[in-house]
């Protein structure tokens, strides 16, 4: 599980998908840049902590080739709206549609997300 501040990541990367995934990758695997030319260098040492979370962030990088970067970034962005306390209390990884500032179409067009019973389910976040 990783915790992060989605707003900080979005502002620092100016919404560039590959850079967002770079930061999430570095948080997941606790990476350090190899040298000052490493793309990770400009993001290294910054505080990305926050109340957004991914339960199984490794799945993003294991399954990354199967889905587009845009789908992964949308997956991470929508996951960032979940309530961390609700997860700690009940291991709830879904989010109610009412709590999302995005349309149902955005969710339906993402193969990593599905809607059931007015809740958004995340393909790789389900706790087994």
Mean pLDDT of the chain: 95
pLDDT for 126: 78
List the chain domain ranges. Answer: 2-92
What are 64's two structure tokens? 């990354």
Q: Would you say 115 and 109 are in contact if contact means Cβ atoms under 8 Å apart?
A: no
Structure-token pair, residue 54: 């991914």
Q: Could you read off the pLDDT of 38-93 as tens digits, one per residue?
A: 999 999 999 999 999 999 999 999 999 999 999 999 999 999 999 999 999 999 99
């Amino acid at each position: 599980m990783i915790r992060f501040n989605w707003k900080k990541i979005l502002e620092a990367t100016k919404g560039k998908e590959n850079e967002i995934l770079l930061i999430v990758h570095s948080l997941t695997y606790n990476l350090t840049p190899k040298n000052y030319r490493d793309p990770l260098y400009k993001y290294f040492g910054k505080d990305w902590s926050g109340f957004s979370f991914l339960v199984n962030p490794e799945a993003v990088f294991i399954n990354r080739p199967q889905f587009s970067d845009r789908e992964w970034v949308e997956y991470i962005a929508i996951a960032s709206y979940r309530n961390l306390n609700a997860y700690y209390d009940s291991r709830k990884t879904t989010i109610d549609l009412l709590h999302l500032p995005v349309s149902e179409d955005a969710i339906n067009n993402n193969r990593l997300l599905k809607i059931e019973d007015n809740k958004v389910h995340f393909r790789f976040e389900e706790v087994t």
